[in-house]
Every structure is written in C-alpha cells, then in structure tokens.
C-alpha cells in the first residue's frame, strides 16, 4: 500500500499541497482530477520521487519500480521509437516485443525506423505511452497521457492502457472526468485541496 500522510509541498511562497492524505489502492487505477494549479502534477512527481515533501510522509514507495507518461513526451529525439522504448527495458526483452507493442497502439512500420523527431505529435505520444506501459514497473503515473491523440487513436490507446495497467498500481492524472469514468477508477478530486485544506482529498472522491 502506498500512502501519503499530511504531505505538504511548497514552491517558494506558494503552497501546492497542504496536509494531504491519500491511500492508493494496490493494483488499482486511481484517477486524480482538479483544476490547473491544484497540485495534480506535483502529486505525480512526489510519487515518482522527483520531489520531496516539505512536511509529511509518503510510505510504500521503497524498492518499487516506477514508470511514467509525463505531460510532455520526453523522448530522446535522435533515437527511433524502438530505441526510446528499449532504453528503459532489460536487454533480454526482444526487440520484436517492443515492435508488437508499438504496432498495437497504431504505429506503422515506416514510423518505427524514423528518429522520433520526425514523428507526428500523436505518434510521439504513443511512443511515450508504450515506454511507460512496457517498463517492468509496479507504480505507473500517467499525467494527461491522452493529450494530442485524435478520437479514434485515443479510444484504442485507452483500451491498451486498461489492459496493460491491470493489476498494477496506476495513477491517472486528468482534466477529463469521462476518462476517469471510462476506466471505472476511484476519483481523487484535488479541487478542494487548493489553498491547503488539511482534510485528505481522497475523502472527497
């Protein structure tokens, strides 16, 4: 079980999270919602170990392998789609597995051989998603993962995400309530935590 207890995070004078409590259900997908500036991405970064809380504790992260789709694609521009995905994998994973995964989210053979800087925004997004889903992680953070995908691609990719995240603790950060409902996820709404409401937002969900 991953749990946040009384977590406070400030950036300068701005308090982004204050006395925040949250329990993540093991093996389940939790959706985190809220307006801009409510601390959704900061929460994701705390769970990824990229930020430290100014106060409070986060338990259950030790030794847990993590993966993420960030708000930006964050790909190595000079590498191909396959190269970007293989970067985070054990050498023993065959390239054919990576290629199959990329094809399943709609990348054609031609786009597999190109450096990702030559791919479209939607194709790049799918590479970033496959990289997170294929990584051997026990905690997956998906921060607005479907941004930039057209409607058709989005539904196919969402189905793929649901399949690959099954049984793994996943946090979906989104603006879109319909996305959260589609996944049948427990929703944690950060709206009321803006301005440091000490009660845990998971109680609002």
Q: Which residues in this chain contact another protein in the complex, by CB under 8 A?
A: 48-50, 65-68, 70, 72, 74, 76, 78-80, 82-84, 86-88, 95, 115, 131, 135, 137
Q: Are 156 and 106 in contact (CB under 8 A)?
A: yes
Sequence-ordered list of residues with C-beta below 8 angstroms from that of 79, at least 6 positions apart, any chain: 87, 115, 116
Sequence-ordered list of residues with C-beta below 8 angstroms from that of 45, at least 6 positions apart, any chain: 51
Of the pair 61, 156, the CB lying nearest another protein is at 61
CB of 73 to another protein, least distance (A): 9
Cα 31 to Cα 182: distance, rounded to the nearest angstrom: 11
Of the pair 55, 87, the CB lying nearest another protein is at 87
CB of 103 to another protein, least distance (A): 16
CB of 99 to another protein, least distance (A): 11
CB of 11 to another protein, least distance (A): 16
Cα 183 to Cα 39: distance, rounded to the nearest angstrom: 22
Q: Are 25 and 169 in contact (CB under 8 A)?
A: yes
Of the pair 59, 76, the CB lying nearest another protein is at 76
Of the pair 67, 190, the CB lying nearest another protein is at 67
């Amino acid at each position: 079980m991953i749990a946040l207890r009384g977590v406070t995070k400030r950036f300068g004078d701005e308090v982004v999270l204050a006395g925040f409590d949250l329990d993540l259900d093991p093996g389940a997908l939790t959706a985190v919602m809220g307006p801009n500036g409510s601390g959704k991405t900061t929460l994701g970064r705390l769970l990824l170990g990229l930020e430290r809380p100014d106060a409070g504790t986060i338990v259950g992260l030790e030794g847990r392998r993590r993966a993420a789709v960030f708000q930006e694609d964050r790909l190595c521009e000079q590498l191909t789609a396959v190269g970007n995905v293989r970067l985070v994998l054990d050498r023993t994973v065959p390239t054919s597995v990576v290629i199959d995964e990329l094809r399943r989210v709609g990348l054609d053979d031609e786009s597999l051989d190109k450096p990702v800087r030559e791919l479209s925004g939607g194709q790049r997004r799918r590479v970033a998603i496959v990289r997170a889903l294929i990584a051997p992680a026990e905690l997956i953070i998906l921060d607005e993962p479907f941004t930039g995908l057209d409607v058709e691609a989005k539904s196919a990719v969402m189905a793929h995400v649901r399949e690959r995240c099954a049984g793994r603790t996943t946090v979906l950060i989104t603006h879109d309530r319909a996305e959260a409902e589609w996944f049948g996820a427990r929703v944690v709404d950060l709206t009321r935590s803006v301005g440091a409401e000490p009660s845990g937002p998971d109680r609002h969900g």
